[in-house]
Amino acid sequence: MASSSRTVDKFACETSRYLLPTFRRPGYREIMDTHVEYDPGHEVFPIWTKEDGQYYRTINTALLNDNYDVLKKNVKFINSLRHAIRDNNAKESVKVYRGLCIPSKHVNQEYKVGLQFLWPTFTCTSRNKDMAHVFGEYTFEIETSSQDWTYRSDISKYSMFPEEEEVLFYPYSGFVVQNVIPDAKIIQLKCVDTLHVEETSEKLIPEEVQIFDSSRNIFVYFYKKASEVYWSYANKPDQRFLIAGNQSGYWDAPYRYHHRRGYFIHKGMNLWEEYQNDECFATFTRIDCSTSNPCGTYGYCVDTSSGGIECVCKFWWKGDFCDQQSSSGIQVIVLGVLSGILLIFFYALSIICGCRRRKQQPKKEKKKDENLNSKLSDVAVVNVKRSFQISSCLVFIFMIIVATIALVIKWLLLQPIHNELVQKYNKSELLYYHRISFCDVIDQDGYDLISLPVAGFFIIVFVIFSKRTSCLRQKLRGFIGPIIPMDFYIHIKRKLAAVIFAIIADDLLNIVIAVLNGEASQGEGVIVVYLMRIVQILVIGIHYYPLLAAAYIDSMLTWSCATLYAWLFFSLTIIEQGLCQTSFYTSDEYPDDINNTDTGIFFDYYGTGSNLLIIELITDIPRYLCWAYIVVKFPMLLIEKINQMIKKRKKESSSHIHLTREEKILLHSSASHSVESCYVRNLFRGKNRCLKSRLLFGRLIPTFIYQWRDDFRFSSRIFCVYASVFLLLYFITIQSLIRFIPYLNTFEKIIQELMDIISQIGNSAGITKQFPVPNLTRPFVFAILTAFVIITLQLLILLTNIRRNLFQIYRGDDSEIPLRTNSRYLSYTSGNFHFAGYFIGYIFWGYVLIAIFALIVYICIASFITFGSVRFLEKILKVIIPVLLMIIFKLYLNKLLARYVFLQDYGDVLAINNRRVLMIFLYFNFFLDSFLGLISSIMRIILSVIAAFFYMCRLDYSPLGRKLEILDSGFAAYCGFIHIEAVHRNPIMLTMVSHLYGEMKRKQHLTTHNPMMMTSIESKRQKNSSKAIHRWHLAVLLLRNPSLVFLRKSALVANEDKKEKEMFEKKQRMSVIEEMTHRPSLISESDFERMWQKKC
């Protein structure tokens, strides 16, 4: 189509950022409200289309620049044209076109899909696309509809050039960018309501904009609802000045603010520019919390929802920029200083009084006692000789060799599985491996079908060749007797039993994890599942029963069977853990776990190299060392037993006393070197005259940490329980570190969301992320290690407490453990049953609770280190610190007054001084402590919870207190264990019984083999016996043990009461007999019968 002969600039758009406002400007709004007489459309439209003078250009330029003077001068024409367009509004749906003279880079910058804007001019468009296309590189393709609320009018019939098909749009018509076609150079627009564009844009305008000019070192401020512009010096932001020449400001878009001499425009990335006379006058940077922090080190810069910034002050600071100390802050500082001065003053006076008291005390002369202790060098030589025996060295060497071979074999078994899964991982296949058929034999639903029957067979063999001690001893020559795995109250093979129990801990951990994970077959009830777990535990006990029973029976047959069984069981264990039940590789045993395998996560974190193999072998090192010790120690003990049998046969004589194993154990208690005899001898020595330990290890430990005593040995039960516990702690620690670390990123997001929800409670300032969560890897590792260290220390402390509590029960001290009463014997027995199981369970949960608590603490510390400060914690500390300072100040003030004002002799005597002053102080202190009591109650709850976390594994500690400790099942189990141990392992009782039993056995032997010698010994002993010797021994015993005086006195009183009661009952019986034997008369026979019935 041929173009028109006239100038067609009306259809071309030389656009700039001015052409994209989103609000109607003030000049246009002013003339909109001006009342004039409107000319009809047939007069206005022809004037608009005239080329002479290009009147349309004058009007559009004034609208584009919002030139109020030109607009006011032509107000009648403009308003008449507006009304003419509105009156002749074309509501049809049509597409019109307009040319765009703009480079492509500007199009990419300004016209984005979804952009809404207003055209401030009377916009001329053409229905003819070709007409508009020839006047610009880009073409606007405008789509109109009948419901777009945009006024437009077809004025082609009024135009001098009707072939242009001109459509004229209302000023400040709204448009939205639908699409941009770069290749065709077409921008597709759609008409929208002007009011909708303005409402949408108004929400995007910030309430306040603060920008900074670094060249002039000033801040500039302008606002959403104000027409003034302010400025301030950068170093004095609180002193703002009005820019008088830049008034009458307004926003015509969310990114552009006009003032009298120019405008500020947002260029993106917090960059603003000021234009005056269409030239860039200055460049600014918008001040927000991401670019600068005007709040300083004592405040948080917060971007508000209105677009401004706000300073949230830390702790006790105030001011717009947190540069002033609040009155509360000054008071807290003063209170802290006073508390510090009070602490220094109190302890300084305590040190001075203590030094003065020591000087006034008379010097004590040290008595030179005979040193009965051996020198440390001699002890070291003896212990080194004992430690470096040939058998011990051989056991150690072979144990290392066997453990190494076992680990190498497991490596070779795991290597093909690892390589197979790595290939599947690289191909994005399901990560599982196929178990060999042999695994179904050694691991059939958790039961080993090879070792379990062998264990049962050896148990039957041990039962057949064991002799009964009491029941039907004549039947079957005493054979077929019950066997026990071990006696928990004696000191036989404690080390070997402890190693076996340490291996059992790994199997128990697997069952506990399975119970916690809720692993169960489909269709099974809860009771059935737990019964199956109990059966599994019993099966585990049967697996290790032959090993423990062989150690207790101590015969050549049992050692032979146990040696074969140990090697078989160890070999099957290596195969099972290498091919069937791996720690980090999923097998096809459980189809439900194939799709949810963790192996892929482990490969993502630890890589596809040999890291997982190394980790699994490191986890197995303690287990395999224990197994290596067993498979090496059992053959050594078998060889030793064979040598003993050979030597015994050579030395056997008719006069040899035959003793059972239990008799040998009992008679050992009265030997001079036994632990029990040593304890009895120490009772007759002074507290400071007890001999030091004969062990080198006991000498090297500082006494303030642990005092090693040769007169005490822990029972086999404690050895076994502690061995299981320590290996269990090792497994839990390694598994926690390896398995949870790959998931910490997910946990970090969850914790961050949770903390954001918690921190938003009561957050009126709209502050987000008051508690930023740091990377959890380091806090988690430190938390697990902290839990391991704390639990280990608590276990060692409990070990010392067990010994102290046993000593207390021996001497009748109830300061920690309640005294034994007859009514609680059943409770003691049942508690003794539960001790080991409760102990392990409490340790497990104590480990978990301490780890969680330590993780929270370390996360807080890491947040402070990483982010500098944490608002959420500061809020808590802001509440806690004044309370703690007040409590500390009040506490030490009370101590200072108590020692130096209200007690005589500076607190050395519990006697009141200054009685009247004390009464006044007590009166006013009543009101103050009512407030502090409320705070103290809250602290009591918090400290109780924290203490319960840290002392969960300590059965000797009851968080319920002495009055309610009977409700604590863990403490009740501990008391039962202590009482049962004290009764059956009392060294005085064992020594006495052993001595009496030894004398009885010696008499029996002499009576049988040499009766004449027995008679002479008895006659000689009768001459030397004296009551005075026994009384002197009794006096010494009572002096060394004062608590026995009260027990003896109560026993004597009870004995006397018993005799008196027996005498009284005897007298009553005699009076009845005399009355009954009196001869009645024949007449009173009926009276006799009534009397007899009454007595009966």
**Residue-wise pLDDT tens digits, 283-327:** 888 877 766 666 777 777 776 665 567 777 877 787 777 778 888
Say yes or no to pLDDT of 1076 above 50. Answer: no
Confidence of residue 172 (pLDDT cuts 50, 70, 90): very high
Confidence of residue 19 (pLDDT cuts 50, 70, 90): low
- What was the pLDDT predicted at 472? 65
Helix axes 716-740, 611-651, angle to 10 degrees: 170
- What was the pLDDT predicted at 1020? 54
Ranges 29-38, 181-190, 315-324, 970-979: which has the least confidence? 315-324
Region 663-669: mean pLDDT is: 82
Quick check: 824 and 739 in contact, CB under 8 A?
A: no
Region 439-462: mean pLDDT is: 80
Q: Which residues pair with 912 in a beta bridge?
A: 903
Nearest to 624 by CA among 443, 411, 407: 407
- What was the pLDDT predicted at 307? 59
Nearest to 60 by CA among 22, 117, 9, 111: 9
* CATH superfamily name and code, 9-202: Toxin ADP-ribosyltransferase; Chain A, domain 1 (3.90.176.10)
Q: Specify the DSSP class assigned to residue 576.
A: I
Say yes or no to pLDDT of 1067 above 90. Answer: no
Parallel, antiparallel, or unpaired: how do β-strands 95-100 and 12-13 relate? parallel
Of all residues in the chain, what percent carry a pLDDT higher than 70? 81
Query: Which tokens sit at 599?
Result: 């192996």
Q: Which residues pair with 176 in a beta bridge?
A: 116, 190
Region 380-389: mean pLDDT is: 55
**Residue-wise pLDDT tens digits, 192-233:** 999 999 998 988 888 888 888 888 888 888 888 888 888 888
Cβ-proximal residues to 490 (8 Å cutoff; 6+ apart), any chain: 665, 715, 716
Using CA atoms, how far residue 622 sits from 255, 401, 505, 718, in Å, is: 69, 14, 11, 20
Q: What backbone phi and psi angles, to 5 degrees, belong to 269?
A: 55, 45
Say yes or no to pLDDT of 176 above 90. Answer: yes
- What was the pLDDT predicted at 883? 84
Cβ-proximal residues to 860 (8 Å cutoff; 6+ apart), any chain: 870, 873
Region 184-195: mean pLDDT is: 90
Please tell me which residue, 1070 or 104, carries the higher pLDDT value: 104
Quick check: 172 and 28 in contact, CB under 8 A?
A: yes
Rounded CA separation 319/325 (Å): 8
- What was the pLDDT predicted at 1088? 39
Q: DSSP secondary structure string, 859-902?
A: HHHHHHHHHS--HHHHHHHHHHHHHHHHHHHHHHHHHHHHHHTS
Confidence of residue 683 (pLDDT cuts 50, 70, 90): confident
Q: DSSP secondary structure string, 28-59?
A: HHHHHT---PPPPHHHHHHHHH--TT-HHHHH
Say yes or no to pLDDT of 788 above 90. Answer: yes
Ranges 198-212, 247-261, 431-445, 554-568: which has the least confidence? 431-445
Query: Which tokens sit at 909?
Result: 């005597």
Residue 256 burial class via C-beta count within 10 angstroms: exposed 0-12, middle 13-18, buried 19 and up: buried
Q: Specify the DSSP class assigned to residue 579.
A: I
Say yes or no to pLDDT of 616 above 80. Answer: yes
Quick check: 129 and 171 in contact, CB under 8 A?
A: no
Quick check: 1002 and 863 in contact, CB under 8 A?
A: no
- What was the pLDDT predicted at 781? 92
Ranges 32-36, 154-158, 517-521: which has the least confidence? 517-521
Give the distance between the most distant pair of CA atoms in the chain.
Answer: 170
- What was the pLDDT predicted at 675? 83
- 262-289 CB burial, b ≥16 within 10 A, e <16: bbbbbeeeeebbbbeeeeeebebbbbbb
- What was the pLDDT predicted at 1080? 41
- What was the pLDDT predicted at 400? 92
Please tell me which residue, 701 or 544, carries the higher pLDDT value: 544
- What was the pLDDT predicted at 4? 43
- What was the pLDDT predicted at 14? 43
Say yes or no to pLDDT of 5 above 60. Answer: no
Q: DSSP secondary structure string, 697-711?
A: HHHHS-TTT----TT
Confidence of residue 513 (pLDDT cuts 50, 70, 90): low
Q: Specify the DSSP class assigned to residue 158.
A: T
**Residue-wise pLDDT tens digits, 273-284:** 888 877 888 888
Say yes or no to pLDDT of 790 above 90. Answer: yes
Please report which residue ranges of 465-525 form alpha helices under DSSP H: 494-517
Confidence of residue 792 (pLDDT cuts 50, 70, 90): very high
- What was the pLDDT predicted at 483? 81
Nearest to 127 by CA among 158, 85, 170, 164: 164
**Residue-wise pLDDT tens digits, 248-268:** 788 888 888 888 778 888 887
Region 650-673: mean pLDDT is: 72
Query: Which tokens sit at 14?
Result: 């030389």
Query: Which tokens sit at 610?
Result: 């040999």
Region 885-904: mean pLDDT is: 88
Say yes or no to pLDDT of 971 above 50. Answer: yes
Region 392-408: mean pLDDT is: 89
Q: Which of 154-158, 383-387, 1010-1014, 1075-1079 has the highest mean pLDDT?
A: 154-158
Quick check: 163 and 169 in contact, CB under 8 A?
A: no
Region 89-106: mean pLDDT is: 82
Please tell me which residue, 659 or 721, carries the higher pLDDT value: 721
Residue 344 burial class via C-beta count within 10 angstroms: exposed 0-12, middle 13-18, buried 19 and up: exposed
Q: What is the mean pLDDT of the chain?
A: 79
Quick check: 736 and 829 in contact, CB under 8 A?
A: no
Say yes or no to pLDDT of 762 above 60. Answer: no
Please tell me which residue, 931 or 576, carries the higher pLDDT value: 576
Say yes or no to pLDDT of 109 above 90. Answer: no
Say yes or no to pLDDT of 765 above 70. Answer: no
Query: Which tokens sit at 479?
Result: 């054979």
- What was the pLDDT predicted at 515? 61
Confidence of residue 890 (pLDDT cuts 50, 70, 90): confident
Please report which residue ranges of 361-469 form alpha helices under DSSP H: 376-387, 390-426, 439-442, 451-464
Say yes or no to pLDDT of 189 above 90. Answer: yes
Query: Which tokens sit at 714?
Result: 């822990």
Q: Which of 368-372, 413-417, 480-484, 690-694 has the highest mean pLDDT?
A: 413-417
Rounded CA separation 278/280 (Å): 7
Region 643-665: mean pLDDT is: 71
- What was the pLDDT predicted at 516? 59
Q: What is the dihedral angle through the alpha carbons of 429, 435, 440, 443, rounded to the nearest 10 degrees?
A: -90
Confidence of residue 701 (pLDDT cuts 50, 70, 90): low
- What was the pLDDT predicted at 514? 64
- What was the pLDDT predicted at 6? 43
Rounded CA separation 140/184 (Å): 11
Residues making up the chain, counted from first to last: 1096
Confidence of residue 244 (pLDDT cuts 50, 70, 90): low
Q: Specify the DSSP class assigned to residue 818.
A: P
Rounded CA separation 731/626 (Å): 14
Rounded CA separation 349/341 (Å): 12
Say yes or no to pLDDT of 1025 above 60. Answer: no
Half-sphere exposure of 410 (CA within 13 A, CB side): 30
Q: Can you give the C-alpha Rg of the chain in angstroms?
A: 49
| Domain assignments of the chain as residue spans, ordered by start | 9-202, 208-325, 383-453+491-649, 714-984, 1051-1096
